[in-house]
Amino acid sequence: MIETQTFPPPGGSPPHPPELTDENLDRVFFALSDPVRRAILARLGGGRFLVSELAEPFDISVQAVSRHIQVLVRAGLVQQERTGRISRCRLEVGPIYAAAVWINQYSEYWQAQFDSLADWLGKIEARKPTPGKTGKRTRTTPTKTGEER
């Protein structure tokens, strides 16, 4: 049996990028796996927003967006500051940074095939829009009862 491995962050070092525990990675990657949540993060890249403001672009209820935000909060990707009846949300990039660290474990494998990330990022810099927005919810993970057999 493979044992749990927590991949500790380096000694004293920067502020505090979250630890790369399995649980943290689960929550972060899961939070990123939904287009609505990614769109919310993209909005939050531009500053702070109320829940109602974040909900406005979507066709779903405010309650549904509120729960998406809670998923982001549990993943550490969003922090909420409650003042009175309003709740202002802001982006917290630490977990994204942690995810980047995890992903870059595989950079050695793609270096053979692709440009270094920096190179490709440099190439797309020119046409770079604001971070990814999204559209309708179209369930993307196929149904369990197989379709390609």
Restricted to residues 1-30, the positions that interact with a copy of itself (CB under 8 A) are 1-5, 7, 9-10, 13-15, 17, 20, 22-23, 25-27, 29-30
For a copy of itself, which residue of 83, 140, 143, 145 counts as binding (CB under 8 A)? Answer: 140
For a copy of itself, which residue of 52, 61, 63, 105 counts as binding (CB under 8 A)? Answer: 105
Residues near 43 by beta carbon (within 8 Å), at least 6 away in sequence: 49, 54, 57
Give me Rg for the CA atoms of the chain: 18
User: Considering beta carbons, is residue 8 or 142 the nearer one to DNA?
Assistant: 142
Q: Exposure string (b/e) for 75-86, b if CB count within 10 Å is 16 or more?
A: bbbbeeeeeeee
For DNA, which residue of 19, 23, 46, 67 counts as binding (CB under 7 A)? Answer: 67
Among the residue ranges 17-25, 38-46, 83-91, 96-104, the one whose residues contact DNA (CB under 7 A): 83-91
Residues near 108 by beta carbon (within 8 Å), at least 6 away in sequence: none
Residues near 80 by beta carbon (within 8 Å), at least 6 away in sequence: 69, 73, 87, 88, 89, 90
Site of interaction with DNA (CB under 7 A): 30, 33-34, 36, 50-53, 59-64, 66-71, 80, 83-88, 137, 139, 141-146, 148-149
